[in-house]
Structure formats: C-alpha cells, structure tokens
Amino acid sequence: SILLPGLVAKTVGLMNTGSLTRKRDRWYLPLYRWALARMDVVVYGSEQQRAMWVRPGSPGWSRSRVIHNGVQLARFDPQQMRVDGHRLRRDIGIGSGCLVIGSVGNFGPVKNQVELIEALADIRSTISDCHLILAGDGPSRDLLEQRVNALQLGGQVSFLGSVADVRPALGAMDIFVL
C-alpha cells in the first residue's frame, strides 16, 4: 500500500472535519471514535485534524496519514481571475452590475443543480439583475435545460459546458455554490 508500506488496507477512513460544535456532534463523537479505531488506515486533511482524533505515538497515529487538500494557490491569482471573469461576463452578455451565482461540476443528481436553478427563480423575485453560470456537463444536462425553460430563465442561465480551465468561470461569479 502507498499509505502504509507492507499493509494491504481493507478499510480506509477519510476524516476531513475541523470542528465538532453542533449539538448532535456529542452523540456522533463516540461513533466516530469507534469507527476510526477499526480502520486499517485513516486519512486526514491536515495535521490539526489528525491531532483532534489521535495522539502521536498511539496505535491510531501509526495507522494514519495526512493528505492535504491540494489547491495550487499560485494558479488562482485573484487579479488575473477578476480580469478573466470580466471577460467571460462580457462574452456571454452579463452586465457589470449583475449578481452572478454559479457552480462548477458534473451535472448529476448528487450535485442537484436543479435546486440552484429553482433558487435563481426565487432570487429574481427580489433581485431582478442576477444570472446563473453552470460550468460542467453530465447526465442531468437535459433535465437542467428543461427546468430553465419551464421557469422561463433562458436569458438568465448560461451553460458553459465542460471547461478545461475553471478560473474564468470562478472569476465571473460573485457567489459560488457547491
């Protein structure tokens, strides 16, 4: 195994939580600890997260690894994204004062972009100058387009399709929704 040489992991837990502050967390905490203690390997998103769950030198520590969520910040220069975002807005006909909401991802039921389209219809009752950008493609594309047409939002929704570089789309958005 890449994570632990010489061990073929049967169970791998991914723990990427930074705080347990909700009321219900006190009930989940023992369940999490029980489950994590039975994993062959547990992967955390940061050293701080790992320290929340296991102590250095403990058996759990030796069965854990940290794999940081990798976003290359140098690739996401805010000034360049702003320039590219303004260019994209202009290219698809979005005015400078328009509120732009958007999402990037596979068009599938789990991403639930239908909910986002319906939210746009509700938002437009209060903020008329708003637009939705959807970057991606997938099995729900036809359903999404049908919903846009049914809600008469054709001029307020832009389907960008699959994009090799998401930075211009992200730069064009005032609000990103996942």
Query: Which residue, among 48, 56, 57, 45, has the nearest Cα to 13 in the 3D structure?
Result: 45
Instruction: State pTM to two decimals.
Output: 0.65
152 Rama class: left (phi>0) / alpha (psi -120 to 50) / beta: left
pLDDT in tens, 118-167: 999 999 989 999 999 999 999 999 999 999 999 999 999 999 999 999 99
pLDDT in tens, 47-92: 888 888 888 988 888 889 998 877 777 788 889 999 999 999 999 9
Using CA atoms, how far residue 163 sits from 136, 146, 166, in Å, is: 7, 22, 6
Q: 60 burial class (0-12, 13-18, 19+ CB within 10 angstroms)?
A: middle
